[in-house]
Amino acid sequence: MKHIVHEQLGKTIAVLEKVRADETLLGVVAEAAEVTAEAMLKGRKLMVAGNGGSAADSQHLVAEFVSRLVKDRPALRAIALTVDSSILTAVGNDYGYEKCFERQIEALGQQGDVFLGISTSGNSPNVLRALALCRTLGVVTIGFSGNGGGKMAPLCDYNVIVPCDTTMNIQESHLALEHIYCMLVERCYFGAESTLV
């Protein structure tokens, strides 16, 4: 059993090393953070959504924005579209699960907002529909994916595509990058001293 632990950690590290070596990917994370901070400084908000582990990531990331990441500072305007069971089940029942995020963006999204869609495959139908609506509303779109980006890549203004096709390793990289994304937004919004531990 111990050798399995060692082997899996090695795979995780190998993917993270690929991410760290991808200058384009790193640049996109930085650009996405700058755009998000700029939107928040103008009174706009960040909306985040995904399915399964990516739904958990959505809630985790938003918690970092609303509470804090490393240092005390005012709350930042962010919402996870994965948490209201009444909305999710009503839309799922009345319109279909593929519309559960799209419908919330229709209600809450405003021009200049930012939507971050998370999908390890890049092909989650409800994330794709949400991204497509954002395009028509003037909402900036950020995609965190793997598997080459999937169908969501052309729908995103900023693509963070983990160079991997194994779901758990993509998710591990997503979480690391989501923390860094939040840290960079804090830095852009509050100044460099806000991210010093």
For the record, the structure tokens of 74 come out as: 């005012």
Residues 6+ apart with CB under 8 A from 148: 122, 161
Q: Is 53 annotated as a binding residue?
A: yes
Distance between CA atoms of 29 and 84, rounded to whole angstroms? 28
DSSP classification of residue 42: T
* Residue 124 marked as a ligand binder: yes
On whether 94 is known to bind a ligand per the annotation, the reply is yes
54 is in an annotated binding site: no
Establish whether 86 is an annotated binding residue.
no
- The phi, psi pair for 146, rounded to 5°, reads -145, -160
Q: Is residue 64 annotated as involved in ligand binding? A: yes
Which structure tokens are listed for 106?
């229709």
Residue 82 token pair:
């994965």
| 51 marked among binding-site residues | yes
Task: Flag whether 8 is marked binding.
Answer: no
Q: Is 171 annotated as a binding residue?
A: yes
Q: DSSP letter at 152?
A: G
**Number of neighbours of residue 183 by Cβ within 10 angstroms:** 17
Q: Which residues are annotated as a binding site for Zn(2+)?
A: 60, 64, 171, 179
Annotated binding-site residues read: 51-53, 60, 64, 93-94, 119-121, 124, 171, 179
- Residues placed in the known binding site for substrate: 51-53, 64, 93-94, 119-121, 124, 171
